[in-house]
């Protein structure tokens, strides 16, 4: 199949990846109501078509923290991308650099921040609040030394959400023996992935936490360490600790409530991501796109507001910009593309997003992505 949309990349990834890794990308928590809501609420927003305007000159670029982006899109942190394609985070980072947009590296990446930075443009770095503050300090120091300019601090994961698909696929809840046998069997039945990733994509560890886990051999060994180190006691005051080590911009990821957004401003953040973790944490909460306008109203111009969740096209990007987001971060979209065929597919997917955004801007009379506002939306629909 020749992919033409994010849905096509999803299908290609479903065919190529072992079920345990596809379901990890594709699934949400509990009954997945919020996962579906993210997409449905985005689809329900109508754009306002305008005609007979001079649209010969388009400007898709925006500037964020002094960095000019070729379009208002970034690649969100996605865990274990190195299990979707050989050294997957490196491939995705190169695709983002080629497109002129930021790539944000997850704490739970297969490739370490040092490896990704050495391959090209230093990424943004995503971090959780961990009980082991000493190791947090070490990670922040490594990210800074690698040239990372922006820290994305995820705050909506004091504990992992319950993801039923991961249990059914054998990704979680299995014994060491049954897990190894399940991985081996799924690899054998997906030979393309097995050759690319299982045989030639080693080591299969979480590079950023490898030194903290003695004797860890499988990805799940490292995920267990991460899960045990999530800190339920974290408060806004803990940002003081982060600021002691990190002197660059801090973006708070995982905000859905206007009061939390105001607290982020008070805590000294420079940006926030309106996000429900892709529907992977508390099921039943509202969609990211529906939460966005109230948060934008609450914080005004006090910080940069971004959004993720349910973004599947360039049209969706324009809808989010119209509702006040400075840029959108793609999560599943790039993970599907990476799983479908590595860096070339991620580059192709980003080209599709750019083309769709350009078309939407022309047909709504929006000459500049930076100037998008609610006038682009059909409020009567």
Q: What is the pLDDT of residues 200-245, one digit of tens each?
A: 999 988 999 888 777 666 666 777 777 788 889 989 999 999 999 9
Taking the C-alpha atoms of residue 351 and residue 300, their distance in angstroms, rounded to an integer, is 31
Q: Is 70 exceeded by the pLDDT of residue 307?
A: yes
DSSP type of residue 198:
I
65 within domain boundaries: yes
- Average pLDDT (124-153) is 94
Look at residue 194 in the predicted model and tell me its pLDDT.
94
- Average pLDDT (70-74) is 98
- Average pLDDT (355-381) is 94
Angle at 124 between CA 128 and CA 248, to 5 degrees: 85
34 within domain boundaries: yes
Q: How many CB atoms lie within 10 A of CB 29?
A: 24
Look at residue 358 in the predicted model and tell me its pLDDT.
98
Q: What is the pLDDT of residues 234-279, one digit of tens each?
A: 899 999 999 999 999 999 999 999 999 999 999 999 999 999 999 9
% pLDDT > 90, the chain: 81
Q: What is the pLDDT of residues 99-112, one digit of tens each?
A: 999 999 999 999 99
Domain count, the chain: 1
Task: Band the pLDDT of 176: cuts 50, 70, 90.
Answer: low
Look at residue 95 in the predicted model and tell me its pLDDT.
98
Task: Band the pLDDT of 120: cuts 50, 70, 90.
Answer: confident
1 within domain boundaries: no
* Active site annotation includes 277: yes
**371 vs 381, higher pLDDT:** 371
Instruction: Sheet containing 73-75: give its strands across.
Output: 73-75, 327-330, 304-308, 271-274, 250-255, 151-154, 124-128, 104-105
Look at residue 223 in the predicted model and tell me its pLDDT.
75
38 within domain boundaries: yes
71 within domain boundaries: yes
Q: Which residues pair with 63 in a beta bridge?
A: 68
Q: What is the extent of the structural domain holding 252? A: 6-376
159 within domain boundaries: yes
Q: Which of 277, 280, 319, 332 is catalytic?
A: 277
Look at residue 220 in the predicted model and tell me its pLDDT.
67
Taking the C-alpha atoms of residue 118 and residue 90, their distance in angstroms, rounded to an integer, is 9
381 within domain boundaries: no
Q: Is 90 exceeded by the pLDDT of residue 302?
A: yes
Look at residue 374 in the predicted model and tell me its pLDDT.
97
Taking the C-alpha atoms of residue 105 and residue 79, their distance in angstroms, rounded to an integer, is 8
pTM: 0.95
53 within domain boundaries: yes
| C-alpha gyration radius of the chain | 20
Look at residue 291 in the predicted model and tell me its pLDDT.
98
Q: Is 70 exceeded by the pLDDT of residue 281?
A: yes
Look at residue 239 in the predicted model and tell me its pLDDT.
93
Q: What is the pLDDT of residues 335-353, one digit of tens each?
A: 999 999 999 999 999 999 9
Q: Give the mean pLDDT of the chain.
A: 93
Identify the CATH number of the domain in which residue 237 sits. Answer: 3.20.20.70
Q: Is 60 exceeded by the pLDDT of residue 177?
A: no
Q: Is 90 exceeded by the pLDDT of residue 41?
A: yes
Look at residue 212 in the predicted model and tell me its pLDDT.
76
Q: Is 70 exceeded by the pLDDT of residue 381?
A: no
């Amino acid at each position: 199949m020749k992919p033409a949309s994010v849905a096509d990349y999803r299908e290609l990834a479903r065919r190529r990846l072992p079920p345990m890794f596809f379901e990890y990308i594709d699934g949400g928590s509990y009954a997945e109501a919020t996962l579906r809501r993210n997409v449905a609420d985005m689809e329900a927003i109508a754009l306002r078509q305008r005609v007979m305007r001079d649209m010969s000159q388009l400007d898709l670029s925006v500037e964020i923290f002094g960095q000019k982006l070729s379009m208002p899109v970034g690649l969100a942190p996605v865990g274990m991308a190195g299990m979707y394609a050989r050294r997957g985070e490196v491939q995705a980072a190169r695709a983002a650099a080629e497109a002129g947009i930021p790539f944000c590296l997850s704490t739970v990446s297969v490739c370490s921040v040092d490896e990704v930075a050495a391959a090209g443009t230093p990424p943004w770095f995503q971090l959780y609040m961990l009980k082991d503050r000493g190791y947090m300090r070490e990670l922040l120091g490594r990210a800074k030394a690698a040239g990372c300019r922006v820290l994305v601090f995820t705050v909506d994961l004091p504990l992992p959400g319950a993801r039923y698909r991961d249990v059914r696929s054998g990704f979680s809840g299995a014994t060491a023996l049954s897990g190894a046998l399940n991985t081996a069997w799924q690899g054998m039945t997906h030979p393309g992935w097995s050759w690319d990733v299982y045989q030639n994509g080693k080591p299969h560890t979480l590079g950023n936490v490898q030194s903290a886990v003695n004797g860890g051999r499988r990805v799940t060994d490292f995920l267990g360490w991460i899960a045990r180190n999530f800190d339920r006691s974290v408060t806004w005051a803990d940002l003081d600790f982060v600021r002691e080590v990190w002197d660059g911009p801090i973006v708070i990821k995982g905000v859905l409530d206007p009061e939390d957004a105001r607290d982020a401003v008070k805590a000294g953040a420079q940006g926030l991501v309106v996000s429900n973790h892709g529907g992977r944490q508390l099921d039943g909460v509202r969609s990211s796109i529906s939460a966005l306008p109230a948060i934008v109203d609450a914080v005004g111009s006090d910080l940069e507001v971004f959004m993720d969740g349910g973004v599947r096209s360039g049209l969706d990007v324009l809808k989010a910009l119209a509702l006040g987001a400075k840029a959108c971060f793609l999560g599943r979209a790039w993970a599907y593309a990476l799983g479908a065929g590595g860096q070339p597919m991620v580059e192709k997917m980003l080209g599709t997003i750019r083309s769709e955004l350009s078309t939407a801007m022309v047909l709504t009379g929006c000459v500049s992505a930076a100037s998008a506002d609610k006038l682009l939306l059909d409020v009567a629909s």
